[in-house]
């Protein structure tokens, strides 16, 4: 039996999350408010996976922690934009809350990784 590492699982999870962000963005009705909100959520949401991959390729603990803090920051920003999209599009609330929940889960995972990395020896 092959054991899959956590980094591999989270890389896949953030890739799938990015795909969900793209699908959501394509299904939001276009108007002056939504255009701004969607542009922002796509930028922050897609950066989670990219920054996580960068963190996995760092050579120092300090750089790893820095990249993971960026992941956490972008996840927090994505939560903000998703909440505003829900506010602007109340009829999409049920669908959007699933994506919001996944974002919050990823945020907690990134926060836990940061905390655990503080205690790991170099």
Q: What is the mean pLDDT of residues 44-65?
A: 96
Please say whether the beta carbons of 82 and 96 come within 8 A. Answer: yes
What three-state secondary structure class fits 83? helix
Q: What is the mean pLDDT of residues 91-110?
A: 96
- Count of residues for the chain? 122
Domain positions in the chain are 41-122
Q: What is the mean pLDDT of residues 95-102?
A: 96
pLDDT of the residue at 121: 63
| Residue 52 vs residue 7, higher pLDDT | 52
Please say whether the beta carbons of 13 and 106 come within 8 A. Answer: yes
Provide CATH code, domain 41-122: 1.20.1440.60
pLDDT of the residue at 2: 35
pLDDT of the residue at 8: 58
DSSP 2: P
16: tokens are 């799938």
Mean pLDDT of the chain: 92
Q: Is 59 exposed, middle or buried (CB count within 10 Å of its CB: 0-12, 13-18, 19+)?
A: exposed
Confidence class for position 1, pLDDT limits 50, 70, 90? very low
């Amino acid at each position: 039996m092959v054991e899959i590492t956590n980094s591999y699982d989270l890389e896949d999870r953030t890739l799938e999350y990015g795909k969900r962000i793209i699908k959501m963005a394509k299904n939001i009705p276009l108007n002056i408010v939504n255009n701004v909100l969607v542009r922002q959520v796509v930028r922050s949401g897609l950066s989670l996976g990219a920054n996580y991959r960068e963190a996995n390729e760092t050579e120092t603990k300090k750089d790893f922690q820095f990249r993971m803090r960026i992941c956490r920051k972008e996840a927090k920003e994505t939560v903000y934009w998703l909440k505003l999209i829900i506010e602007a599009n109340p009829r999409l609330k049920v669908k959007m809350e699933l994506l919001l929940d996944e974002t919050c889960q990823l945020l907690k995972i990134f926060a836990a990784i940061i905390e655990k990395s503080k205690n790991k020896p170099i």
